[in-house]
Amino acid sequence: MSGKSIPFDREFIERVASEYPTPFHIYDEAGIRATSRDFKEAFDWVPGGFRNYYAVKALPNPAIMKIVAEEGMGYDCSSMAELALSEYLGTPGDQIIFTSNDTPVSEFKKAIELGAIVNLDDFSHIDYVHESIGLPERICMRYNPGSLKEGNAIIGKPEEAKYGFTRDQLLAGYERCAELGVKEFGLHTMVASNELNPDYFVETAKLLFELAVEVKEKTGIRISFLNLGGGIGVPYRPGERPVDLHYVSAGIKRLYGELIEPAGLHPMRIYMENGRCVTGPHGYLVGKVRHVKQTYKDYLGLDATMANLMRPGMYGAYHHITILGKDGRPHDHTYDVTGSLCENNDKFAIDRALPEAEVGDYVVIHDTGAHGHSMGFNYNGKLRSAELLLHNDQTVSLIRRAETLSDYFATLDLSGFTMPTRLQSEALASQSGD
């Protein structure tokens, strides 16, 4: 057995695939709701109020965004499209945090119009926003602790990371904002990604609590909310343990009593902006074995590619794989599990022990609910897949259709060409044609 569970079986997926051809991502609503509730329950002690702003980039689909909002989350946006999605969903401004970097005026303007909490990435952005739009009354700033804090593999070392203010810039930044009329101040940091050590998040809180105290002492400015960032990891490998939010919360609560209350900063609102851990474990990329190839190695060639899930190819990330209906058999074959891109790193797994698989088997790639479909691309003319939502009552809805060739052609200027009639009709309406 693989040691990772799946909320459906082969018969179920066969029925789904008869309506929606593979490959597709399917998301488990019950799981997403359970994780979202866990956040709410773990942090319900926070006196000023707690909110996790779901990092929309993880899975920017309105159906999913609606679910996490129903469970009490806001949205962390970093682009015009993510702000537009939040606007489309009628989201109140204080339920949106705009944490961006290298940001254009147009996006600051949109965020300010929506009443979002604007989180600045750099000292120079204070005057950039002031001069171009006017600063909002509430401003958050992103701190980069440099060598004070270790980063991790995905985000790198803080002093090498492009994000945030230095400590001196931050202190000067609050003063500059106050001078320009800002009334409400927040402090943010985010220095890790996909971290499974719960103590890491308690340490991040400590760093921000101490810094909020220092800001008050040195500038007289009172920070009213702290944003601990995202970065809670997903146990991608069997045997890894998810971060215990109740443990993290208890550690933060203790520090709150030690640092925030004595400094007169109580009540302090506490925010986070996790995306990956909210939806990541509740998504599955389902594909089918198209070819079994035996050369110097054995390959399972799927109908899905790195364009559907680029994490293994890009970071060498582990994603667990289950051959549906065969998981109980001995994992006595070693395969590279590939897609069809003309790129040798288009592999979902290398030298993976799996049960013997055959053409037509359904292959489930686990934990694709974050940075899966959303990182997709069209290289090699690959079309992006459908996204399905598995509801609590075991019904399935299509929450994003698969791209067709006409989507691929849509942005081309074809005015100088005569398109063959055959292409115009069936082919454009079909999927990739395989």
Interacting residues toward ligand PLP by CB under 6 A? 55, 57-58, 76, 99, 190, 193, 229-232, 273-276, 370
DSSP 125-186: HHHHHHHHT---SEEEEEE--GGGS--BTTTB-GGGS--SB-HHHHHHHHHHHHHTT--EEE
Q: Which is nearer to ligand PLP, 57 or 400 (CB)?
A: 57
> In the bound complex, what is the minimum distance in angstroms from residue 275's beta carbon to ligand PLP?
3
Q: Which is nearer to ligand PLP, 273 or 403 (CB)?
A: 273
> In the bound complex, what is the minimum distance in angstroms from residue 370's beta carbon to ligand PLP?
6
Residue pointed to by tokens 């970071």: 315
> In the bound complex, what is the minimum distance in angstroms from residue 356's beta carbon to ligand PLP?
36
> In the bound complex, what is the minimum distance in angstroms from residue 127's beta carbon to ligand PLP?
22
Q: Which is nearer to ligand PLP, 103 or 340 (CB)?
A: 103
Which one-letter DSSP state was computed for residue 75?
Answer: E
Contact (Cβ atoms closer than 8 angstroms) between residue 397 and residue 391: yes
284: nearest Cα among 348, 366, 363:
366
> In the bound complex, what is the minimum distance in angstroms from residue 7's beta carbon to ligand PLP?
22
Contact (Cβ atoms closer than 8 angstroms) between residue 187 and residue 223: yes
Task: Count Cβ atoms below 10 Å from residue 3 Cβ, excluding itself.
Answer: 9
The Cα–Cα gap between 32 and 279 comes to: 6
Q: Which is nearer to ligand PLP, 213 or 375 (CB)?
A: 375
Point out the residue whose Cβ comes nearest to ligand PLP.
Answer: 230
> In the bound complex, what is the minimum distance in angstroms from residue 139's beta carbon to ligand PLP?
16
Q: Dig out the tokens for 414 from the structure.
A: 């074809």
Q: Which is nearer to ligand PLP, 142 or 352 (CB)?
A: 142
Q: Which is nearer to ligand PLP, 243 or 386 (CB)?
A: 243
- CA 333 from centroid of its chain's CA atoms: 33
Q: Which is nearer to ligand PLP, 4 or 142 (CB)?
A: 142
> In the bound complex, what is the minimum distance in angstroms from residue 60's beta carbon to ligand PLP?
12
Strands (E), 313-405: 321-323, 333-338, 347-354, 362-365, 386-390, 396-400
